[in-house]
Chain A
């Protein structure tokens, strides 16, 4: 099957149920290459489940998820996941690995030689604004929350995957650091042009980062559109989120 380059990720009628209870139902949408789609919703709305369907950590009960033109069940899951960067909140770094080994994880799984890994790690640490001389040998517990999150982003970029999945990566940070990292993420995104799926429950973050915003509620995608479309929406859930925008 030839890879279809106009669509990076496609959901076709996807439902995922656990113990006969659907966690997400009837998802239908496509994500283009280079796009940043932010999935916005309350806790338990199915955002993370949707994300895990993309890298095959979960398999659709019905329907199919296609990544680069191929259904996730046809992909070799290991190969698929190495094409997709994955960042999660806080705990994602391996506590027993140094920063260098954490960032170099996927390249080392891919069998790169150690010089090339080291070079790539240093490059990435520069990219996320951390001095490799200072940080490469440290362990995650010796870093601040913001630094850890930068390392998490660097690690996800290591093998230069075309797609990035980010599950509330900035959720546990203080508001100032979060703002800083959001800014850097935007800059990075402009430079690298990755396809990004970003999960958050913070509408401001969604507006700042997303080229499109997908609003989820109880396992359904209510709306997928630009910020402007979102602002015009009359949906109660969208209205509820807009209530959270700067109310000072």
Chain B
């Protein structure tokens, strides 16, 4: 029983979970602060939509291990080893779902609604903040939610470049062929992903304006 990973590595799990949360939290925070405005920008300037979505798309097709590895060779402050390159990589990974969902969500607002808003003399800004964002918030947050869940998974690889996190257990477990060690990293990461998914889903529900909430739930 004392071999069970939870008892054996209890405190260590806690501290690596903290590191993991830190990496994901900062990355998602930055990606949200950058991604939502970018998503809004490309609804206003459609000529930028292809290049911006294209770049974000390419970012996501790069295998995560390769991206972390590549960043080692990039000079600091962006590259190198440790927390910063890990956060850079996770942020780049998280951008696509956030930008894309913002773009799709805002463009998905009924054109008649937008036109009537304009027809009644709303400025572009008023239309954006009072109508488009509230009506698209569910879709936008769904993007943040997907990005978060992906980032929690990808962040395990950050251990490979010395950023810590739950991946430390996984890599150590692989090196010494110890399944308990791998589980000590994988299970908390999975639990964290499920909880984050649930929490953001709840936030999504809370922030969806009452009049547009789906009846069930």
- Interface residues of chain A, those whose CB is within 8 Å of chain B, are 52, 55, 57, 77-82, 84-86, 88, 91-92, 94-98, 105-106, 109, 139-141, 155-156, 165
Contacts and interface: CB of A to CB of B under 8 A. Distances in A.
A96 B116 contact: no
Contacts of A57: 115, 118-119
Nearest to A57: B119
Given A81-B120, A81-B121, A86-B120, A96 B126 contact: no
Q: Which 6 A-B pairs have the closest CB atoms?
A: A96-B209, A139-B211, A81-B121, A82-B121, A86-B119, A91-B112
Instruction: Tell me what chain B mostly uses at the interface: helix, strand, loop, or mixed.
Output: helix
B211 A141 contact: yes
Contacts of B134: 96
22 contacts: A57-B118, A57-B119, A78-B121, A84-B119, A86-B119, A91-B110, A92-B112, A92-B113, A92-B116, A94-B113, A94-B131, A94-B211, A95-B209, A96-B131, A96-B134, A96-B135, A105-B120, A106-B121, A109-B120, A109-B121, A109-B122, A109-B126
Contact of A95 (B121, B126, B211): B211
Given A95-B135, A109-B126, A55 B119 contact: yes
Contacts of A84: 119
Given A81-B121, A109-B121, A109-B122, A95 B212 contact: yes
B182 to A, nearest CB: 47
Interface residues of B, number: 20
B110 A106 contact: no
Interface string B69-85: 00000000000000000
B123 interface: yes
Contacts of A106: 120-121
Nearest to A99: B211
Contacts, number: 66
A82 B120 contact: yes
Given A88-B112, A109-B126, A96 B211 contact: yes
Contacts of B61: none
B50 interface: no
B2 interface: no
Nearest to B209: A96
Interface string B200-217: 000000000111100000
Contacts of B118: 57, 81
Given A77-B121, A95-B211, 12 more contacts: A52-B119, A78-B122, A81-B119, A82-B121, A92-B112, A94-B113, A94-B131, A95-B212, A96-B131, A139-B210, A141-B211, A156-B120
Interface in B113-151: 113, 115-123, 126, 131, 134-135
Given A81-B119, A91-B112, A106-B120, A97 B211 contact: yes
Contacts of A55: 119
A88 B121 contact: no
A78 B123 contact: yes
Contacts of B123: 78
Nearest to B110: A91
A96 B210 contact: yes
Contacts of A52: 119
Contact of A140 (B110, B112, B211): B211
A85 B116 CA distance: 10
A155 B117 CA distance: 11
A52 B209 CA distance: 30
A55 B121 CA distance: 9
Given A96-B135, A96-B210, A139-B210, A91 B119 contact: no
Contacts of B121: 77-82, 106, 109
B174 to A, nearest CB: 50
Contacts of A96: 131, 134-135, 209-212
A91 B123 CA distance: 20
B136 to A, nearest CB: 11
A81 B126 CA distance: 14
Contacts of A86: 116, 119-120
Nearest to B119: A86
Interface string B101-113: 0000000001011
A155 B116 CA distance: 11
Contacts of A155: 120
